[in-house]
Amino acid sequence: MNKLSKIYVAGHNGLVGSAIVRRLQGQGYEHIVTRTSKELDLRDQQQVDAYFKSERPEYVFLAAAKVGGILANATYPAQFLYDNLMIQSNVIEAARRYQVEKLLFLGSTCIYPKNAPQPLKESYLLTGELESSNEPYAIAKIAGIKMCSAFNKQFGTNYMSVMPTNLYGPNDNFDLQTSHVLPALMRKIHEAKQNNLSNVTIWGTGTPLREFLHVDDLADACVYLFQTYDASELGEFVNVGTGKDISIRELAVLLCKVIGYEGHLVFDISKPDGTPRKVTDIEKLSSLKWKPSISLVEGLKSTYSWYCEKEMR
C-alpha cells in the first residue's frame, strides 16, 4: 500500500471509520475514497457492486456497521442482525469480484461466549452461549469473521479480521437511547452537572467489568496490522485492546472527576448488567509488536473536551 493507493473506508463518518481516515491522512495517504450512507446503501447489493465497479478501490477498511448498546440491541434485534449481515456480505463479495488486494474487517469482542474464561483468547470463539442482550450483533460479526476466512481459503483473498474491545473517542454516539455505556455515562453526568442535579441514575449494579480502548489507538493498530501483515499471519482474527478492565462503578466515578460533577451515583438494579466481565487477552497482538499508547484518564479527558466543543456548536 503506497501513498497514492486508492483506499476505501466504509463507515467513514462513524467512530471507527473516522479514526481510520484520520490515521491514514496523518501518514500521508492521499487517495481515500468514502461515501455516506445516503450516497451508498451498503445493504443494497446492486449499489455496492456498482460502486466497486466504478471506483475500483485497491484496499478496503470495512468499519461500516449498525452499532449500539444494550437498549438498542434489545429494541432492534432484527435490524442489528439483518443490516450487519448485508453490509459485510455485500462489501466482502464486491471486494472479491473487483480484486481488492487487501481488506480489513472490524468486528467486536461481543463475539465471545457470555461465560467464557477471562481474559478472552481468540480460541474461545464458538465455545459457549452468547450474551442474549447483544446476540444478533454478535452473530453477524461472527459470520463476518467466518466469511473472510472462507474467502481466503477458497479464493486466495487477503482479508483480515480484528476484534476491538469497547471503544470510545471523537465521533462517538452520545444518544442515550442507542449509545454504549461510556458515552452514555459521559452525557448523563455532564447534563447532571449542567442542570445542578443531585444524582445520576445508572443502569445495573455497577459491578460488571469492562475494558476500554481509545478509538485512535484502534485506528493505529488497524493501519499498522494492515501495512505489516497478511491475513495468513494473523490467523482467523486478532483481539485489539488494552488487556485491562474497570468496573462500571469505577468508570462512573472517574468520569465524575473528569467532568467535575460532585453529585451522587444511583444504581438501578432492576436494569440488566449484560456480560459480568469482558477483558481481552492481547498476547497475540503483543506478539505482533503493537501496544496501545493512550491511557484511560487521558482518553476520557480528550473525549470530554471534544464532546463539550461539539455541544457548543
Q: Which residues are annotated as a binding site for substrate?
A: 188, 203, 210, 273
CA distance linking residue 29 with residue 12, whole number of Å: 15
Residue 159 designated active-site? no
Which of 99, 132, 98 minimizes the C-alpha distance to 115?
A: 132
CA distance linking residue 105 with residue 162, whole number of Å: 6
Which amino acid is residue 247, in one-letter code?
S
CA distance linking residue 88 with residue 147, whole number of Å: 9
CA distance linking residue 131 with residue 272, whole number of Å: 11
- Residues 200, 192: contact at Cβ < 8 Å? yes
Which of 171, 198, 173, 180 minimizes the C-alpha distance to 256?
A: 198
Question: Which of the following is catalytic: 29, 112, 137, 261?
Answer: 137
> Could you identify the residue written with the cell 432492534?
76
CA distance linking residue 214 with residue 257, whole number of Å: 18
Q: Which three cell numbers, joined as nine digits, stand for 259?
A: 467532568
3-state SS, residue 191: helix
- Residues 104, 16: contact at Cβ < 8 Å? no
**How many CB atoms sit inside 10 A of residue 297's CB?**
11
Q: Which residues carry a binding-site annotation?
A: 11-17, 106-109, 141, 164-167, 180, 188, 203, 210, 273
Which of 32, 308, 16, 11 minimizes the C-alpha distance to 171?
A: 16
CA distance linking residue 54 with residue 57, whole number of Å: 9
- Residues 6, 57: contact at Cβ < 8 Å? yes
CA distance linking residue 168 with residue 166, whole number of Å: 7
Q: Known catalytic residues?
A: 137
